[in-house]
Amino acid sequence: MISIDHYIWLSAVLFSIGVLGVLFRRNAIIIFACIELMLNAVNLLMVAFSTSLNDSRGQVFVFFIMAVAAAEVAVGLAILVMVYRRTKSVDIDILNRLRG
Amino acid sequence: MLVVFSKNPVYSILYLIITFFSIAGHYVLLNAQFLAAVHVIVYAGAIMVLFLYVIMLLNLNKETEPHKSNLAKIAAVICAGTMMVVLVASLRGASQMMPNSGGNIGLVKNLGKVLFNEFLLPFEISSILLLAAMVGAVMVGKMDHNIPPVANNQKPNDNNN
């Protein structure tokens, strides 16, 4: 039987890969994808603890996190499409212009 | 890992889909069948299609993207590696409990009871949030066409007022 320690390790590794992707790439779409990866690492850990503690509330919270992630992706990609129409680029360094 | 390091964004998203399916497999292993089904539908079905559609709409599958400097890449790798070490070191041995596989809390019946008794208000709030996000996404997507006519129409109105 897989113990919960393995799930902790897997979630930590997945979350770190997401952080690495956010810091590593300049394409804004890939950064969104890596944020999704981090959210999924947290979801996986919550489901693992929910099963381990025999408590359904963790899975309900995972359900809510999924809803919030879907909303975030929809709004973020809409903003990204608009930024691309303005600047013809998805490089995040372009967004330095937002100041002022 | 291939999500981060593949040059082509389309390949990156496809690797992300594979990752999500493996996470759904883990949900099935953890007796969370309802969440596995929802995960496959929402992520692999909706969000990834949205990502691929945006990538292909913006025609980004050429590698025109400039990359960061080597210093920033090394700093990113060091930051992520240090964070992983800290996470693993802080969480290792923190729990000694074993998962009891006998529970059927992940089934639709029990999850629905908890969701609609104890979490009814957050459920409704999340539905309102999804509606607001949908309306906001449509408005933001259409705003680029609407801005110049609105700006032109507001000038005469202000002058008339």
Residues B60 and B114 in one domain: no
Those residues whose C-beta lies under 8 Å from the C-beta of residue B62, and which sit 6 or more positions away, are: none
Report the pLDDT value the prediction gives residue B6, as an integer from 0 to 100.
Answer: 59
Tokens of B33: 């069948």
What are B72-122's pLDDT values in tens digits?
778 777 887 888 788 777 776 655 555 555 556 667 777 777 777 777 888
Residues B61 and B111 in one domain: no
B115 inside domain: yes
Beta bridge partners of A27: A91
Strand ranges, E, within chain B: none
CA distance B140 to B135: 9
Report the pLDDT value the prediction gives residue B2, as an integer from 0 to 100.
Answer: 54
CB contact under 8 A, B118 and A79: no
What is the total count of domains within chain A? 1
Tokens of B109: 């019946």
Chain A residues lying within 8 Å of B141, measured CB to CB: 78, 81-82
3-state class of B97 per DSSP? coil
Q: Is B38 on the interface with A (CB under 8 A)?
A: yes
Q: Which of A84-98, B65-79, B147-161 has the lowest mean pLDDT?
A: B147-161
Q: Model-level pTM greater than 0.95?
A: no
What are B141-151's pLDDT values in tens digits?
777 655 544 44
* Predicted-complex ipTM score: 0.78
Domain CATH for A55 = 1.10.287.3510
The region, left, alpha or beta by phi > 0 then psi within -120 to 50, assigned to residue A88 is left
B117 inside domain: yes
Report the pLDDT value the prediction gives residue B31, as an integer from 0 to 100.
Answer: 75
What is the total count of domains within chain B? 2
